[in-house]
Chains A and B, each alone.
Chain A
Amino acid sequence: MLSRLAFRNVRRSLGDYAVYLITITLAFSLVFSFGLIASSQAVIDLSSGMNLFRTLLDFVNAVIILVICFLVNYTTKFMFTKRSREFGMYLLLGIRRNQIVRMFLLEILLLGLIALALSIPLGFIVSQFLSMLIVNIFGVAELILITFQAEALEQLFVYFSILYLLVFLNMLRRMGKMNIRRFLDTERENEKKMLRSSGQRNLLFFLSLLLGVGAFALWNSQFDLTAISTGETLTWLMVAVTLFIISIYGISVTGSDMLLTFVLKRKKVKYTGDHLFLARTFSSKVRSMSITAGTLSVLVTLTLLALNFSYLSQGVYEYTLESEAPYDVSVHDNREVLDDYIDIIEEDYTIQDIVKYDIYKEPKMVLNPIVALPGSNEDFDSVISLGSYNALLELRGMEPVTLKDDEYMIVCNPQYLELFENTDSIKSLTLADGNILNLAQITDRGYWLYMSGIANYAAVFPDQYTKGLETAESNLVVDTIEETSADLEKKIEDEMSWHLVYTDEDGDTVHEFYRFNVRGLVIEETNSMTAMISSLCLYIAFIFLSTVGTILAVQSLSDASKYRYRYTVLNRLGVEAGSLFRTILRQLLILFGLPVIYPVIIVFLCMTSINRVYSLALYDPYIYLLYFLAGLGIFLLVYGIYFAAAFVGFKRNIQVQ
């Protein structure tokens, strides 16, 4: 009978907790589909980086399971509170407590199993879409069909078991402590109010705000080019994150309450429109769900950060590719062997363009000391002729530059831009032969990592000034019609090994494979890195966001049925359905809006800090603003779906004429 009762209760719950059921189904299906992808041999074979993906995924899954656990636990607690009076009735009818506990846990498990069962086919379908995405990223010609992997299914079952075990243990602890009186009264209890006096509340609010400012100052101080590489950076960042979390909880516990007091103390605000009703409806909720609100805000913060990082990694992708391999093949080696490279490339590819250029030595050496790494033994400035530089630019579809006869320019790694700009002594450069060149501009446009094998910069001289200079190294850039693949790297390594591999005087084997660079390999490596970070960030963002959305939607829908009479009374007092719905809309906007405000501010500030370092790797230093807005847009879109579901459900539940 009890199991029949449990089945019927689950059927009844399906309507009330549809949003919750959909969310955990989607969450389980994502866990499953990522598991399928990670265990698919075809995907692993795509890139060596995919092994790292599995390790990262395990870590991410652990965090995600904890968050799903929070959601299931919260909803279970919520269902329990709502039905505790019913359980009290069971006790009165003579049903033993352990029978009631068993029935309730069976109901929770049944809901979970429904989600699990639905998530398996759904996850399988999602994995095919993910595979299409991966195929697209890696530019694989054939579609990879993800096969059904028992390993992924086992993993899902393990996660499911751990999750429900934790939830059950918590529920057993909670129900074990209750007597019949508590069962009958729990429905009417709120979470305990944390702060007794408004003085304590104000103090906590300002302390939390101060903590937030302190956390930001600490965070910001770490994103400085001089500080970022020191060993303590990570420790300080962790401290800042902890402070942020405490601050978010503090603000969540106190902020809404302060706002309410503000509204209720000002008659003009209080008696305008539906403010009084909204404030009073909200006050009991806000004052009693403070800790939950804090957790929701932390999850919103992490969601927004994950979305921003997803975009950032995509933005850096282009930069990485352009800074590491803008040309299909680039080589720096002796001039005599350059043609050998060309021959090897020509065997498999159609060559569209070739640029051979030299890097010269300017013996006066004014620029080198500014940026030279400790231990560097180059005793000259690296120089490229204007003609060669323009040829390289044109090959990338960039506008050539012009220099007057007495001018020179510097092209360098973005990291050194500031160093050169701050050195006045290079504004006018006296060369070894006595000629004087004036600095026309310093740029990082057109520079790439393999422009020169010996320096992170090159001085661009008008052609006539390079004529008498000694050649430091010869370079080759090859543009092919077809996109190169990672195989070309291997082929060059093999076929040029007679030249690139030798034994030095100490008897050690030296590999000089750094002398060439193939775009195909860089694309593959960068692709897998970007795909990994980007997809894991989106995965985290979706789970966290849907957890927040579900908790708020379930709360709203439950409120709607619990406090239906409030709206009926308003309706009978003459408030029309239209304006009542507007009030509900505002009420939900506040409920959904408040946990988002502080996180948006924090994430914006944090991303601005991070951008101080990342802007070096992005084409536009302000593109992070676009990423921020795009991330916020996606967040609001998904959040909006939960909001809309809550609003529609609320309207239906109160059934006002």
Chain B
Amino acid sequence: MVEPILRLEQVKKYYGRNANITKAINGISISVKKGEFTAVMGSSGSGKTTLLNCIATIDNVTAGHIYIRGMDITELRESRLADFRRKNLGFIFQDFNLLDTLTVGENIALSQIIGRADPEAIDSRVQNIAEKLGIKDILDKFPYEISGGQKQRCACARALINEPALILADEPTGALDSRASRMLLEAMSAVNRKMNATILMVTHDPFCASFCGRILFLKDGRIFSEISRGDKSRKELFTEILDTLNLLGGDLENA
């Protein structure tokens, strides 16, 4: 059996002390296979961002284990985390987090340069990914010179440059209009298909989730439900997501 890219074993994350304990994640076990495009949905406070932060090594788990490519990241020391992140993880955030002193091309290449990759190879990689995401013409521009949609595709390219085992996206369309959202999601889908990239995306937007192959629904820190695209069309999946959300209840708009 092929080892999954990501495997969570009874992961728990508690905040607070004694009587004031908040169980943000309360025993989640999942596994994500290579090439899966997975969405995590849930109402506000359901624990989806905490889950993402634990997988991203931003937060430590209270209990349980997280394996990425078979390596238990909950046991990794701080000194080894930087290398681990560079080689295995890619991040896409709602607010882009591009470095405004670097050009788009330099932003994409940054982690490769830090990893001391061959300069020639870096350039061709940047060109290659930029082409896939439709941002080849803006590589020499600075972040303040381009649109939000372009910024997010740049962030997406940055996440992809190292061909990481797992791409983590936190509400990537949150700051985009519907047209830019659609463009980004189509680009992410294409990357998922063509490069066989594994993507885990937190979102509260059913339209956004309908681009994924698998959707996990969280409630009160646990997996409430899970649906897969299978042979369904995107429209059919979208309807199914809405149905599940109705079942889930809660204020999704504020998620």
| A residues whose Cβ falls under 8 Å from a Cβ of B | 1-2, 5, 8-9, 11-12, 85-86, 89, 91-97, 99, 179-181, 184
Chain B min CB distance to A353 (Å): 77
Contacts of A11 in B (CB 8 A): 101
Task: Tell me the B131-189 residues at the A interface (CB within 8 Å).
Answer: 158, 162
Contacts of A184 in B (CB 8 A): 58
Task: Tell me the B45-71 residues at the A interface (CB within 8 Å).
Answer: 56-59
| A99 and B78 contact, CB distance less than 8 A | no
Chain B min CB distance to A20 (Å): 19
| B86 and A5 contact, CB distance less than 8 A | no
Say yes or no for B21: interface residue by CB 8 A criterion.
Answer: no
8 closest Cβ pairs, A-B complex? A94-B86, A8-B101, A1-B113, A96-B82, A94-B85, A93-B111, A89-B97, A94-B111
The distance in angstroms between the C-alpha atoms of A194 and B157, with both chains bound, is 45
Output the nearest chain B residue to A11 by Cβ-Cβ distance: B101
Judged by DSSP, the binding face of A is: helix
Q: Which of A86, A92, A94, A181 contacts B114 (CB 8 A)?
A: A94
Say yes or no for B76: interface residue by CB 8 A criterion.
Answer: no
Given A92-B56, A94-B86, A180-B58, the answer on whether A1 and B101 have CB atoms closer than 8 Å is: no
Chain A min CB distance to B182 (Å): 26
Q: Which of B58, B59, B82, B97 contacts A94 (CB 8 A)?
A: B82
Cβ contacts B67-98/A at 8 Å (1 or 0 each): 00000000000110111111101010000010
Say yes or no for B110: interface residue by CB 8 A criterion.
Answer: yes
Chain A min CB distance to B220 (Å): 23
Chain B min CB distance to A103 (Å): 11
The distance in angstroms between the C-alpha atoms of A95 and B113, with both chains bound, is 10
Say yes or no for B115: interface residue by CB 8 A criterion.
Answer: yes
What would 10 A/B residue contacts be, using CB atoms closer than 8 Å?
A1-B113, A5-B101, A9-B101, A93-B114, A93-B158, A94-B82, A94-B83, A95-B86, A95-B111, A95-B114
| A93 and B110 contact, CB distance less than 8 A | yes
| B58 and A92 contact, CB distance less than 8 A | yes
Number of residue pairs A-B, CB distance < 8 angstroms? 60
Contacts of B78 in A (CB 8 A): 97, 179
Which range holds the interface residue count of chain B?
A: 20 to 34
The distance in angstroms between the C-alpha atoms of A11 and B102, with both chains bound, is 12
Output the nearest chain A residue to B91 by Cβ-Cβ distance: A92
Which of A8, A11, A85, A99 counts the most B-chain CB atoms under 10 A from its CB? A8
Say yes or no for B190: interface residue by CB 8 A criterion.
Answer: no
Say yes or no for B195: interface residue by CB 8 A criterion.
Answer: no
The distance in angstroms between the C-alpha atoms of A92 and B86, with both chains bound, is 8
Contacts of B97 in A (CB 8 A): 85-86, 89
Contacts of B113 in A (CB 8 A): 1
Given A8-B102, A94-B86, the answer on whether A1 and B110 have CB atoms closer than 8 Å is: yes
| A94 and B102 contact, CB distance less than 8 A | no
Chain A min CB distance to B137 (Å): 23
The distance in angstroms between the C-alpha atoms of A180 and B59, with both chains bound, is 8
Chain B min CB distance to A24 (Å): 22
Output the nearest chain B residue to A86 by Cβ-Cβ distance: B99
Which of B83, B111, B162 counts the most A-chain CB atoms under 10 A from its CB? B111
Cβ contacts B106-138/A at 8 Å (1 or 0 each): 000011011100000000000000000000000
The distance in angstroms between the C-alpha atoms of A337 and B91, with both chains bound, is 100
The distance in angstroms between the C-alpha atoms of A53 and B82, with both chains bound, is 54
Chain A min CB distance to B73 (Å): 13
The distance in angstroms between the C-alpha atoms of A89 and B91, with both chains bound, is 9
| A91 and B101 contact, CB distance less than 8 A | no
Contacts of A181 in B (CB 8 A): 58-59
Chain A min CB distance to B116 (Å): 10
Output the nearest chain B residue to A2 by Cβ-Cβ distance: B114
The distance in angstroms between the C-alpha atoms of A6 and B1, with both chains bound, is 47
Output the nearest chain A residue to B114 by Cβ-Cβ distance: A95
Which of A2, A179, A180 counts the most B-chain CB atoms under 10 A from its CB? A180
The distance in angstroms between the C-alpha atoms of A204 and B97, with both chains bound, is 44
The distance in angstroms between the C-alpha atoms of A180 and B223, with both chains bound, is 27
Given A93-B86, A94-B83, A179-B78, the answer on whether A12 and B101 have CB atoms closer than 8 Å is: yes
Q: Which of A2, A12, A91 contacts B82 (CB 8 A)?
A: A91
Given A94-B83, A94-B87, the answer on whether A99 and B102 have CB atoms closer than 8 Å is: no
The distance in angstroms between the C-alpha atoms of A9 and B78, with both chains bound, is 26
| A99 and B101 contact, CB distance less than 8 A | no
Given contact pairs A94-B83, A94-B84, A181-B59, a sample of 6 additional A-B residue pairs in the complex whose CB atoms are under 8 Å apart: A86-B97, A93-B110, A93-B158, A94-B87, A94-B162, A95-B86
